Amino acid sequence: MDDQLLAWFETHGADLPWRRTRDPYAILVSELMLQQTQAARVAPRFVEWLERWPSARALAAAARADVIRAWQGLGYNRRAVSLHRAVRVVAEHGWPDDLTELPGVGPYTAAAMRRFAWNEDVLPVDTNVGRVQERTANRFAPRSAAALMDLGRTVCLARVPRCAACPLAGSCPSRGRRFAPLRRQGPLEGSFRQRRARVLRLVAERPQALAGLDEAAVDALERDGLVRRDGPLVRLP
- 3-class secondary-structure state, position 230: strand
Query: Domain 23-116 is of which CATH architecture?
Result: Orthogonal Bundle (1.10)
**What are the pLDDT tens digits along the chain (237 aa)?**
999 999 999 999 999 999 999 999 999 999 999 998 999 999 999 999 999 999 999 999 999 999 999 999 998 899 999 999 999 999 999 999 999 999 999 999 999 999 999 999 999 999 999 999 999 999 999 999 999 999 999 999 999 999 999 999 999 999 998 888 766 666 667 788 889 999 999 999 999 999 999 999 999 999 999 999 999 999 999
Give the DSSP H or E segment for 233: strand 233-235
User: Which residues, 6+ apart, have CB-to-CB distance to 191 below 8 Å?
Assistant: none
Contact 228, 235 (CB under 8 A): yes
DSSP state of 212: G
Give the DSSP H or E segment for 228: strand 228-230
Active-site residue flag, 31: yes
> What are the extents of the domains in the chain?
1-13+121-180, 23-116, 192-235
User: How much is the pTM?
Assistant: 0.89
Catalytically annotated residue among 31, 92, 101, 189: 31
User: Which residues, 6+ apart, have CB-to-CB distance to 57 below 8 Å?
Assistant: 87, 91
- Smallest CA-to-CA distance from 112 within 32, 49, 31 is with 31
CATH, domain 1-13+121-180, list 1.10.1670.10, 3.30.1130.10, 1.50.10.20, 3.30.1360.20: 1.10.1670.10
Max Cα distance, the chain (Å): 66
Secondary structure string (H, E, C) spanning 138-197: CCCCHHHHHHHHHHHHHCCCCCCCCHHHCCCHHHCCCCCCCCCCCCCCCCCCCCHHHHHH
